[in-house]
Amino acid sequence: MKTPKIIFKNRLSFEEQVYNFFATISGLTVFVLKFFKEVFVPPYEIPQVKKHMDELGVKTFPIVSVTGFIIGLVLAMQTEPVLRTFGATDYLPGSVAVSVIRELGPVITALIFAGRVSSGIGAELGSMRVTEQIDAMEVSGVHPFKFLVVTRVIATTMVLPILTLYVDFIAMVGAYIAVAISSEMSLAYFSHSVVSALAFGDFLPAIAKTFVFGFIVGIVGSYKGFTAEGGTEGVGKASTTSIVIASLLILIFDMVLVKITLWLWPII
C-alpha cells in the first residue's frame, strides 16, 4: 500500500506542516478503506482477536479503575456544594450519573485507552516495520495487514465499550463514597436516584460512540506503526503521533456524535 511520504525534520516550515497534515489524512483514509475491504475476507484470525482483546483490554483495567473512581469522587465533591446552595442535594446522584454516563465516562475512558493502547500499537508495528519483519511476513505468504492490523482494530473496537461500562460503574462507586462522607444519604436512596435519573436514551448513544472511539484508537495506532520509517526515530514518532492524532479524532468525533444524538433525541 502506497502512502504519501511524510517529511521528518527538526523544524518544519508552514508549507511542510500543511503537507504532512494532508498526507496523514489521505494516508489514513486509504488505510481505513483497506481495512473495510479486508475485514470481511477470510481468514478471520479469531484467536488473534481474542489475544489482542486480552492484551489491549484486560490489562487496561487497573488504570481505568483508578480513573473512573476519581472521576466519580471528584465530580460529586465539586457538585455537592453548588447544589447545597440551592437546597437541591437530593439531585446530586442523578446529576453525577447523567454527566458520567453521557459524556465523561466514554470520552475520558477513550482518551486513557488511546494513551495506553494507540501508542503501544504504533510502537509495536513500527518496530516490526523498520526491522523488516512485516516484509518477511509478506515473503513467507502471511497477509500482514490482515494478521497485524485487522485483528487489532477489531479488538480495540470491541473492548472499549466494555471498559466504558466498567468505568461508569466504578465512577458511581466513587460518587457514592464522596456523598456518604459529606452527608447521611443511604446507598438505597443513592441507587434509586441514579436509576430514576437515567433513561435508555442516555445509555444507547454513549455506548454506541465508544465503538467509534475504539475503532479510532486501533486504526490510528496501526496506521502510524504500519507506515513507520526512519529506524528507531521513526518508531518513536509513530508512537507519539498516534496518541495525538487518536485523541484529537476522539474529541472531534465526540462533538459530531453529540450533535447527531441531539438531532435523534426525540426518536431515542
Please, what sign has the CA dihedral across residues 46, 51, 54, 57?
negative
At position 208, the amino acid (one-letter code) is: A
Mean pLDDT over each residue of the chain, to the nearest integer: 86
Q: Which residue has the higher pLDDT, 53 or 19?
A: 53
Residue with cell 446552595: 85
Q: Is the pLDDT of residue 8 over 70?
A: no
CA-to-CA distance for 224 and 168, rounded, in angstroms? 30
Instruction: Note whether 256 and 209 are within 8 A (CB).
Output: no
Q: Residue 254: in which H helix or E strand, if any? A: helix 231-264
CA distances (Å), origin 231, targets 7, 168, 174, 228: 14, 41, 45, 8
Q: pTM for this structure?
A: 0.88
CA-to-CA distance for 182 and 192, rounded, in angstroms? 19
pLDDT score of 24: 81
Domain borders along the chain are: 26-39+46-258
Q: Which residue has the higher pLDDT, 14 or 58?
A: 58
Instruction: Note whether 235 and 119 are within 8 A (CB).
Output: no
> How does pLDDT run across 139-171, given as a tens digit for each residue?
877 788 888 999 999 999 999 999 999 999 999
